Amino acid sequence: MKLVPSVLSVLSTVLAAGIAQADLAATFESGGSKDTRADRLPALLVKAGEAPTPFLAAGEFGVTWTGKLVLTDRLRLVFSFEGEGKVTLTIDGEELLTEEGTFGTAASKSTRLNRGEHDISITYRSKPDGSGRFRLFWEERGFPKQSVPPTVFKAEVTADPARHGRLLFAENHCSKCHLGAGGMQELTEYGPLLVASGSRLTEEWLAEWIANPAALRPDTRMPDLIDESTPAGKQQAADLAAWLMSQKIGEVPTAPDKALAQKGGEHFHRLGCAACHTLPGGAGDAGRISLNDVGFKFQHGALAGFLKKPDTWYAHIGMPDFALSDAESNEIAAYLLEATAHSTRKPTDFPKGDPAKGMEVATALNCAACHAGSGVPNTALPTTDAIFTKDWATGGCVSAKPGGKVPKLALSDAERESLIAFSKKGSASLTRHVEAESTTAKLQSLRCTSCHAMDDTASLLDTVHSDTKGLIAHIQGANEKVDQSRPHLTFVGEMLHASYLENIINGAASPRPRPWLDMRMPAFHSRANSLATGLARLHGVEPGKPDAPAPDAALAEIGKKLAGTEGFGCNTCHGIGDVKATAAFEVEGINFTLAHERLRKEWFIRWMDNPASVTPATKMPRYSEDGQSQRPELEGDALKQFDAIWNYLQKP
């Protein structure tokens, strides 16, 4: 079958533009107050009773997105909306479309926009009950109706440091000592449980960690609670370490066999560990976590158990669960221990610790505030509302010179200024959880873009994965492995049903959609539901699950023909249930039986029309151009043909 030439349409060119910053300034207004943030795209989903932003109360609200629409070709565009409320789109000062009520019944006139930057403004008003949903669509002769991608927006947005300060307040667990009304989801997160410390960690590492956490990990949120420069401070650290070593559950397994190290190194490379960690025994960098102290931190027999289930004693740990087998976890542990065995460390000079005194120190330092299950009481300190009446710049944990018994937080000057700016806003925003903003922060804190490209930014792993190629150099042909690129995150919230995305993030998707990837998707168990919901909301999509299959029998029969060897030959690369692909090049595509469970129809049509406009490096060919295909079915109308294939995929 002859395919349409694989020439990218004007949309592909637009998406490959390489915009430096894909943002819009979003100014929200409610009850006479305003709040501005940077949004990747003009989209939202707010339920009645929810706050539109953390700094505005729930209720009727408005938002205006402003910035530039950047085009790399002249296009004749038609814009339309989805959602409810009232909205007006203005480009270059011309009002193109206004809708009120339920959107989607109208579209703008076809408007020619030349290559370059165009001023864009979208003014949206929620329903009177404070609920609102909005999405922006465009279409052109070269591509069907689809959401406007975030990569075509840019704006200079002056960030309010208070927004970052609010997040820092949660990340530093300030509300654990200063109790108050909650609501912000991050406030429910706790530090590691201490009950099994003596079965996992070394006493020497614990003493050093307690004495100066930031010296071992500069990005830590663990505060410095003692003065290690004094003999009394060193003794406190030693006593606390001794007490923690008395907290044991079970016996420590034997250390892994050193002979397993080479195999463990292979796993380290293939799982893409370099995305978050520098090579053990090598120099660190500012963006990734060093593993040089791993053999100093863990009792050697306990490391494999940690790797197998990282969140056992720390539900909100950043290290995800790779669902390692016993063999894999032992092999990786052996590699890490062997690779760091010769790390030179200055000998510790802490005195011998007293566990009984350590428990007294833990009580005095209020360790139970952040670490549940410690067996020590939680001391009541001034409430959250009380500390917001203070000047954080001149006293307390945030000030540059906290003094006395006040914890010393590992803060940069910019972070300190953000917290001070937040303090001046009051504590009300802590009572409001905004799913979309929380998800945006989690994409960064969980390092999602270390493995996945997003918008026009490549993943960090694409740059650093070559650092670990030497670990598989002994395997003939290993570096000639088939394509190992991971899915892009740009459209993930509108691409996948939230129910399926939750399963992916929770490690519960079976079978794996891309079994040929060595870099299996790890699980973030405690964040799966909120991340899946938030990613949908970021695109203005109602989180949900697929409807029950209800294919049109006649269309499905046409779709089956189009997907087969007589049509587009989809089954050449894609299996259907237990039926393998007929002649897949390198690897099979995702099995057709997963399509209905995974994909939203809107995104499926977008993908079928022009796969490279979504994923530029994809091997998926293009079957249509300007809405027409070379197949005669359904008058050659590509969108009708794709709809037929969709009907077939509901029950292939």
Query: What pLDDT does 22 receive?
Result: 57
**Cβ burial, residue 204 (10 Å; 0-12/13-18/19+):** middle
Classify 553-649 by CATH class: mainly alpha
CATH fold label, 10-159? Jelly Rolls (2.60.120)
Q: What is the pLDDT of residue 586?
A: 66
- Other Cβ atoms less than 10 A from the Cβ of 400: the count is 9
DSSP character at residue 281: T
- Rounded to 10 degrees, the C-alpha dihedral 557/561/563/566 comes to 180
Determine contact, residues 482/499, Cβ cutoff 8 Å. no
Three-state secondary structure call for residue 226:
coil
Q: Give the span between the Cα atoms of 34 and 233, in whole angstroms.
A: 47
Residue 425 has phi, psi (to 5 degrees) of -85, -15
Among residues 95, 157, 139, 85, the alpha carbon closest in space to that of 121 is found at 95
What does the alpha-carbon distance between residue 246 and residue 240 come to, in Å, rounded to a whole number?
A: 10
Q: Which residues contact 337 (CB under 8 A, 6 or more apart)?
A: 255, 256, 258, 261, 294, 295, 300, 303
* Run means of pLDDT, 10 residues per run, the chain, 652 residues: 32 36 87 96 97 98 98 97 98 98 97 98 98 98 95 92 97 92 91 95 97 92 92 96 96 96 97 94 81 95 98 96 98 97 81 96 92 79 93 92 83 96 96 96 95 93 93 82 82 97 96 90 97 98 96 96 93 88 77 95 96 88 93 96 96 77
Residues of the chain with CATH 2.60.120.260: 10-159
Q: Which two tokens stand for residue 645?
A: 């294939």
Q: In the chain, what are the helix, strand and coil shares in percent, each to the nearest 5?
A: 35, 15, 50
CATH 1.10.760.10 domain residues, the chain: 553-649
State the angle between helix axes of 498-505 and 528-538 in degrees (0 to 180), rounded to the nearest 10.
140
Q: CB atoms < 10 A from the CB of 356, how many? A: 11
CA-to-CA distance for 296 and 264, rounded, in angstroms? 19
Cβ count within 10 A of residue 587: 16
